[in-house]
Amino acid sequence: MNNSLQTAKYLIADYFAAAISWTLFYIFRKEYIEPLKFGYDIPITFSERYFLGLILIPIVWILLYYLTGYYRNIYRKSRLNDIIQSFLQSLIGVTVLFFLLLLDDVISSYKNYYLLYSVLFGLHFFITLFFRLLFTSITTHKIHTRKIGFNTLMIGSNIQAVETYLDLNQQSFSYGNKIIGFVNIHKKDHYQLSDYTPHLGGLNKLDEIIESNKIQEVIIVLETSEHKDITKIINKLGSCNVIIKTIPNMYDILTGKVKMTQLFGTPLIQISHDLMPVWQMNVKQIIDYFASFFALVISFPLFIGLAIGVKISSPGPIFYSHERIGKYGKAFRIIKFRSMPIDAEKDGPVLSGKNDTRITNFGRFLRKYRFDEIPNFINVLKGDMSLVGPRPERQFFIDQIVKKAPHYSHLQKVKPGITSWGQVKYGYAENVEQMIKRLRYDILYIENMSLFVDLKIIVHTMRTIISGKGV
Could you tell me if 386 and 416 are in contact, meaning their C-beta atoms sit under 8 angstroms apart? yes
Q: What mean pLDDT do residues 148-169 have? A: 90
Query: Among candidates 66, 10, 14, which has minimal Cα distance to 281?
Result: 66
Is 371 a residue whose pLDDT tops 60?
yes
Could you tell me if 249 and 220 are in contact, meaning their C-beta atoms sit under 8 angstroms apart? no
Is 200 a residue whose pLDDT tops 80?
yes
Give the mean pLDDT of the chain.
Answer: 87
pLDDT at res. 266: 56
pLDDT at res. 252: 45
Residue type (1 letter), 43: P
Could you tell me if 307 and 280 are in contact, meaning their C-beta atoms sit under 8 angstroms apart? no
Strands (E), 230-367: 243-246, 258-263, 266-271, 319-325, 331-337
Angle at 326 (CA atoms; ends 6, 292), nearest 5 degrees = 80
pLDDT at res. 256: 47
Q: Find the helix packing angle between 432-447 and 395-404, rounded to 10°.
A: 80
Is 334 a residue whose pLDDT tops 70?
yes
Is 181 a residue whose pLDDT tops 90?
yes
Q: What mean pLDDT do residues 62-80 have? A: 92
pLDDT at res. 343: 86
pTM (2 d.p.): 0.78
Kind of pairing between the strands at 331-337 and 319-325: antiparallel
Range scoring the smallest mean pLDDT among 104-113, 192-201, 209-218, 279-288: 104-113
Is 146 a residue whose pLDDT tops 70?
yes
pLDDT at res. 108: 55
Is 72 a residue whose pLDDT tops 70?
yes
> For residue 110, what are the CA distances in angstroms to 37, 104, 127, 437?
11, 11, 27, 64
Is 177 a residue whose pLDDT tops 70?
yes
- Give 268's pLDDT tier (boundaries 50, 70, 90): low
Is 112 a residue whose pLDDT tops 90?
no
For residues 223, 226, 232 and 234, what is the CA-based torsion angle, rounded to 10 degrees? Answer: 20
Could you tell me if 213 and 180 are in contact, meaning their C-beta atoms sit under 8 angstroms apart? yes
The residues of the chain that CATH labels 3.40.50.720 are 150-271
Task: Give the other-Cβ count within 10 Å of 163's Cβ.
Answer: 15
Task: Give the other-Cβ count within 10 Å of 410's Cβ.
Answer: 21
Please provide residue 271's backbone torsions phi and psi, each rounded to the nearest 5 degrees. -90, 115
Distance CA 329, CA 102 (A): 49
For residues 320-339, one letter each, b for 16 or more C-beta atoms within 10 angstroms of the residue's C-beta and e for the rest, the string is: beeebbbbbbeebebbbbbb
Query: Among candidates 3, 138, 167, 174, which has minimal Cα distance to 75?
Result: 3
Residue 150's beta-bridge partner residues? 177
pLDDT tens figures, 403-450: 999 889 889 999 999 999 998 888 888 889 999 999 989 988 988 899
* Domain 150-271 sits in CATH 2.80.10.50: no
113: exposed, middle or buried (Cβ count in 10 Å: 0-12, 13-18, 19+): middle
Q: Which residues are within 8 A (CB) of 266 and not within 5 positions of it... i.e. 6 or more apart?
A: 164, 167, 168
Q: What mean pLDDT do residues 99-115 have? A: 70
Q: What mean pLDDT do residues 370-383 have? A: 95
